[in-house]
Structure 1
């Protein structure tokens, strides 16, 4: 298993509650949900990010 970097993360109570509810719906921990969402965002950015040389 790859080493994982630990980072402190501050969230508003409202955002935390939204993520916690979403995590419960997806049968994930809050930490797992945050990691999943960040991973999906990075994948999406890589797909849509066109290199300047390609233009």
Structure 2
């Protein structure tokens, strides 16, 4: 399977990994930032699902 045929979430993950590696950030910084991003998108997902219920 090539990346071109991969699901959108896999393509996005690869892009994010590449961007983070290019910035040469330490792992702790990256993980903390990703935790914030995850919390933000989970909050948006929860708000969307509760407002449409």
TM-score between the two structures when normalised by the length of structure 1? 0.45
More relative contact order, 1 or 2 (CA 8 Å, 6+ apart): 1
